[in-house]
Amino acid sequence: MSLILASINYWVTIILMIGGLYIVVAHGNMVKKLVGLSIFQTSVYLLFLSPGKILGGTAPIISEKFEVYSNPLPHVLILTAIVVGVATIALGMALVVRINEAYGTIEDDEVHEMEQD
């Protein structure tokens, strides 16, 4: 039990990640896949941010009032990752719009059937 409590942050991260990944792999609706993809990516951010947190620390903005700061490095990385994520989602949505115009549907299976013939 203590094992679980000590790393509760990782457990939550993993559950979220798996949820997101499941949506991407199992679902056929292209918009929903993209939402799942963004959930999957967002949960990875927690994996980076958790190890950087120092209990009793504060946000990494230097000021005379504080001594201990949380690790700034993951914040920088995750900022970049968020931006990459949103660019990907935007491009994905543009593709969905075009697919919808070309095929009249955004269901994976239906598109697949149309491509067969």
Partner 1 sequence: MVAAVIGVIRSRNLFVVVMLGGIYSFLMATVMVALDAVDVAMTEAAVGAGMSTVLLLAVLGLVKTREAPLRHSPFIPLLVCFLTGAALIYGTLSLPPFGRQDTPTNQHVAPYYIKNSVKETGSPNIVTAVLASYRGYDTLGETTVIFTGGIGVLILLSTSRRRRLKQSSDEDSST
Partner 2 sequence: MIRDTIILRVVIKLLLPAILLFALYVQFHGDYGPGGGFQAGVAAAAAIILYGLVFGVSAARKIVPQKFLFSLIPIGVLVFSGTGIVSWFFGANYLDYSPFGSDSKSGQHLGILIVELGVFITVFSTMLAIFYSFAGRSEILSLDGDTDK
Partner 3 sequence: MEFLQEQLPALQVVLPLVAASLCALFRFGYLSWLITLSSSILSFLVAVFLLLRVLEQGIISYEIGGWSPPFGIEYRVDLINAFVLLIVSGVSAVIVPYTQKSISARFDSTEQSWFYCMYLLVLTGLLGVTITGDAFNIFVFLEISSLASYAMIAMGRDRRGLTAAYQYLIMGTIGATFIVIGIGLLWAMTGTLNLYDLAGRLPEIKNTRPVLAALAFLTVGVSLKLALFPLHLWLPNAYAYGPSVASAFLAGTATKVAIYLLLRFFFTIFGGATFFTETPLPEILKILALLAMFAASIVAIFQSNIKRMLAYSSVAQIGFIVLGISYATETSLTGAMTHMFNHAIMKAGLFLLLGAIMFRLGSVKIEALSGIGRKMPLTMAGFVILGLSLIGAPGTAGFISKWYLGLGALEQGEWWILVLIVSASLLTMIYIGRVVEVAYFREPTDEVVQLKEAPSEMLWPAYLLIAAAIYFGFDTSFSADLARQAAVLLVNAVY
What does the binding site for partner 2 look like in residue numbers (CB under 8 A)?
A: 59, 61, 79, 83, 90, 93-94, 97, 101
- Alpha-carbon distance 97 to 29, whole Å? 13
Q: How far is the CB of 12 from partner 3 (least distance, A)?
A: 15
Secondary structure letter of residue 104 according to DSSP: S
Among 61, 65, 115, 116, binds partner 1 (CB under 8 A): 61
Q: Segment contacting partner 3 (CB under 8 A): 1-9, 59-67, 90-98? A: 90-98
- Name which of partner 1, partner 2, partner 3, none residue 113 binds, using a CB cut-off of 5 to 8 Å depending on partner kind: none
Q: Does 96 help bind partner 3 (rule: CB under 8 A)?
A: yes
| Structure-token pair, residue 97 | 């719009």
Distance of CA 87 to the CA centre of its chain: 13
- Residue closer to partner 1 (CB basis): 28 or 114: 28
Sign of CA dihedral 22, 38, 42, 75: positive
DSSP calls for 7-50 = THHHHHHHHHHHHHHHHHHH--BHHHHHHHHHHHHHHHHHHHHH
- Name the one residue in this structure whose structure tokens are 């679902």: 27
Residues within the interface to partner 3 (CB under 8 A) = 21, 24, 30, 33, 37, 40-41, 44, 47-48, 51, 73-74, 77, 80-81, 84, 87-88, 91-92, 95-96, 98-99, 102-103, 111, 115
